[in-house]
Amino acid sequence: MCLYVSKVPNLFPLYESLNAHFGDLHWWPGESPFEVIVGAILTQNTAWRNVEIAIKKLKAKGLLHPEGLLTIRDDVLEELIRSSGYYRVKTRRLKSFVLYLHEEYDGSLERMFLEDFRHLREKLLRVKGVGEETADSILLYAGEKPIFVVDAYTRRILQRHGIICEDASYGEIQKLFMTHLPHSVPLYKQYHALLVNTGKTFCTKTPRCGGCPLNKEG
């Protein structure tokens, strides 16, 4: 199994360099845990600005709550979230989550998040359309649980800096952070946000290393 170039990578210098450059990013935006969850589902395979449009439309209709999404007709919901792309698929995924929330916890996020987050993660992964990144985003940002979110930007940055190999799994990358960093919700939130911003700004598919805080020569 190929994961680390060094057996005990020091992730703090990377964090400190990014944090000094970007500052506190206050991510994930959302006025409620449920809004964060909806955003986590809608942001799959699209830019956040497209998700914001959809969320604003749901708010304007007074539907940004579990009961609202549970009872709204599919075709109406599809139109409201059309900007997020794959709107028919995402309608089914939103419906699957709110149905799960209704059946398992009587629609209560508070009750859901009282569960041990490791056990809850296993249950969330059984909800149609909820993968590891979405489940962990829900747990960290909506549930305030200490679990690190891994995304494509994280993988790309770590790979280019020789910390992981190309075939490292999601679980291996997550374990890297959770083994070598304190189990801190604020730290995990900010670190993930920093990696996302670095990936969008500098570590794009065609890298723009000039000015990148991780470029020691720049």
Phi and psi angles of residue 127, each rounded to the nearest 5 degrees, phi first: -80, 130
Residue 191 in domain: no
Whole-number Å distance between alpha carbons of 2 and 162:
11
Query: Which pLDDT does position 148 carry in this prediction?
Result: 98
Whole-number Å distance between alpha carbons of 151 and 43:
12
Residue 4 in domain: no
Tokens representing 105 are 């916890």
Residue 62 in domain: yes
Tokens representing 9 are 């990578």
Using CA atoms of 91, 92, 94, 99 in order, give the dihedral in degrees to the nearest 10.
140
Say how many domains are in the chain. 1
Mean pLDDT for 71-76 is: 98
In the structure, what pLDDT confidence band is assigned to residue 63 with cuts at 50, 70 and 90? Answer: very high
Q: How many CB atoms lie within 10 A of CB 160?
A: 13
Q: Is 197 exposed, middle or buried (0-12, 13-18, 19+ CB in 10 A)?
A: middle
Residue 118 in domain: yes
Which CATH number fits the domain that encloses residue 86?
A: 1.10.340.30
Query: Which pLDDT does position 1 carry in this prediction?
Result: 45
Residue 207 in domain: no
Residue 72 in domain: yes
Query: Which pLDDT does position 160 carry in this prediction?
Result: 92
Q: Say if residue 85's pLDDT is above 70.
A: yes
Whole-number Å distance between alpha carbons of 124 and 137:
11
Tokens representing 83 are 């900007």
In the structure, what pLDDT confidence band is assigned to residue 181 with cuts at 50, 70 and 90? Answer: very high
Q: How many residues does the chain have?
A: 218
Parent domain of 62: 33-142
Q: Say if residue 218's pLDDT is above 50.
A: no
Mean pLDDT for 143-154 is: 97
Tokens representing 168 are 């490292």
Residue 37 in domain: yes
What would the pLDDT profile of 2-58 be if each residue is shown by its tens digit? Answer: 555 555 678 999 999 999 999 999 999 999 999 999 999 999 999 999 999 999 999
Query: Which pLDDT does position 110 carry in this prediction?
Result: 97
Residue 149 in domain: no
